């Protein structure tokens, strides 16, 4: 199964909650384990919250979610700057001590996370999480 969605949300705190709700709804269509769903909810919440905080004032938060049988790809973009002008296509800043808790949580929970090159003045955080599925008990005979 493959599920994909693109959103453009306003630069306001409630957008992180909206993005999390959309992701959890999409994940409800899959057999992804509860632990993986919880990790993905934290990942999208933190990435969106960071985009809202650090985006240019008139920027929207653009989100792409792509789920297949093996992985979930989340991209969160906005017009603005990466943390401490981090080089794009270079992974997350090291050490992950810039700002608050967002980037350290993303670094700990994601399988990959990097700021990647987008359109001019576009900051795009690409996160990948490998999916584990629910373990169903054997059917009674």
The string of pLDDT tens digits covering residues 95-118 is 544 556 777 788 889 999 888 877
Q: Which domains does the chain have, with CATH numbers?
A: 3-130 (3.30.565.10)
Going by C-alpha positions, the residue among 45, 42, 46, 59 that lies closest to residue 8 is 59
Calculate the CA 2 to chain-centre distance.
17
d(CA 128, CA 40): 9
pLDDT in tens, 50-106: 899 888 888 899 999 999 999 999 999 988 766 555 544 445 555 544 556 777 788
Phi, psi (deg, nearest 5) at residue 73: -110, 125
d(CA 139, CA 63): 39
Mean pLDDT of the chain: 84
pLDDT in tens, 5-18: 999 999 999 999 99
- Alpha carbon dihedral 126, 3, 41, 12, in 10-degree steps, equals 70
- Supply the pTM of this predicted model: 0.83
Q: Residue 90: its pLDDT value, please? A: 45
Q: Residue 123: its pLDDT value, please? A: 84
Helices (H), 73-120: 102-109
């Amino acid at each position: 199964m493959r599920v994909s969605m693109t959103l453009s949300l306003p630069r306001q705190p409630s957008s992180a909650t909206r993005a999390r709700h959309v992701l959890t709804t999409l994940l409800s269509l899959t057999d992804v384990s509860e632990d993986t769903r919880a990790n993905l909810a934290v990942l999208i919440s933190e990435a969106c919250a960071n985009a809202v905080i650090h985006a240019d004032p008139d920027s929207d938060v653009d989100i792409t979610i792509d789920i297949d049988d093996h992985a979930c790809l989340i991209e969160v973009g906005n017009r603005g700057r990466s943390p401490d002008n981090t080089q794009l296509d270079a992974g997350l800043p090291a050490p992950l001590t810039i700002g608050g808790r967002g980037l350290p949580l993303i670094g700990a929970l994601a399988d990959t996370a990097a700021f990647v090159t987008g359109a001019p003045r576009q900051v795009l955080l690409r996160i990948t999480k490998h999916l584990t599925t629910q373990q169903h008990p054997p059917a009674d005979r």
